[in-house]
A and B are shown apart, each in its own frame.
Chain A
Amino acid sequence: MRLGIPYSKCPYESELPCTSEEEAIGIAVGVWLGGGEAKCFMQNSGFGRCIDIITSLLLPYDIPIGLHINNRLDLHHEYMGALCPVICKGLKYLNESSMISQTSV
């Protein structure tokens, strides 16, 4: 199951109309606990909202939710665009399971 918040030219559709990126991860956790599989997609700005649920739920509870983060570098995304790969490197969880794409749209 794919869950997330869309970004421009996003190739994915969310199975449920999630209201935030961290909510999408929370729902994915519920799906995984029930024996299913769910992946989440978002852009870097929304990823910023997810640091708490990644570090206090996914990591300590050892819950593998794949994340696709679209890293934007344009306009107001300049700062998070530069930070996003650094944060991801600091989270061993993300190094293993996330795919990060870079776009300027």
Chain B
Amino acid sequence: MQRVEILKRIFDDITDECVITSTGMISREAYQIKDRDRNFYMMGSMGGALAIGIGLAYSRPDLKVIVINGDASVLMSLGTMVLLKKLKLSNLKHYILDNNCHSTTGGQPTCSDAVDFHLLSDCIVLKTDKQKGQAPRIPLKPVDIQRRFREAIRIKEK
């Protein structure tokens, strides 16, 4: 299935969850499908999305956190999946969209076909087509993505 179709299905079920999206086309397509204040588009720092999700879910157990990762990004920071296994965060859901390639940069192959991500920690692995995707760059400034996300989940003082 195309990645964009899988992302649409994921976002169909989302209500008030915080969503951290990984580098490249995953963030761009998520922006096109359902832009919302509670989406944090991590446009650089490849491999860092799960760590951000862990920090948020660990420090804010009142929130439900979803991380949407790609196979290449996960492979860059496999240790973070082991940490997640250790922490067992019940308010964090980790999707891995696995197309076995770096599709944003031209489809160069990854080695994701040699690993079963489920062995490392809880995750939902969804196999997707190798198609590059057509989504344009996200027209938001990074600082604005950060500010609106933080404001949307701010604990209001009584």
Contacts and interface: CB of A to CB of B under 8 A. Distances in A.
Contact of A17 (B42, B45, B86, B146): B86
A33 B44 contact: no
Contact of B145 (A23, A24, A25, A61): A61
Interface in B13-66: 20, 40, 42-60, 63
Interface in B105-158: 142-143, 145-146, 149-150, 153-155
A18 interface: yes
Contacts of A23: 48, 51, 77, 79-80, 83
Contacts of B142: 60-62
A33 B153 contact: yes
A26 B59 contact: no
B52 A35 contact: no
Interface residues on A, range: 20 to 34
B87 interface: yes
A99 interface: no
A30 to B, nearest CB: 2
A63 B146 contact: yes
A64 B87 CA distance: 25
Interface size bucket, B side? 35 or more
B55 A27 contact: yes
Interface in A18-39: 18-20, 22-36, 38
A35 B55 contact: no
Q: Give the 5 A-B residue pairs with the shortest CB-CB distance, closest first.
A: A30-B55, A56-B44, A26-B51, A19-B79, A27-B55
Interface of B: 20, 40, 42-60, 63, 77, 79-80, 82-83, 86-87, 142-143, 145-146, 149-150, 153-155
Given A30-B58, A35-B150, A57-B44, 17 more contacts: A16-B54, A17-B86, A19-B82, A23-B77, A23-B83, A25-B48, A27-B52, A33-B55, A33-B153, A34-B59, A35-B154, A36-B60, A52-B44, A56-B43, A56-B45, A61-B142, A61-B143
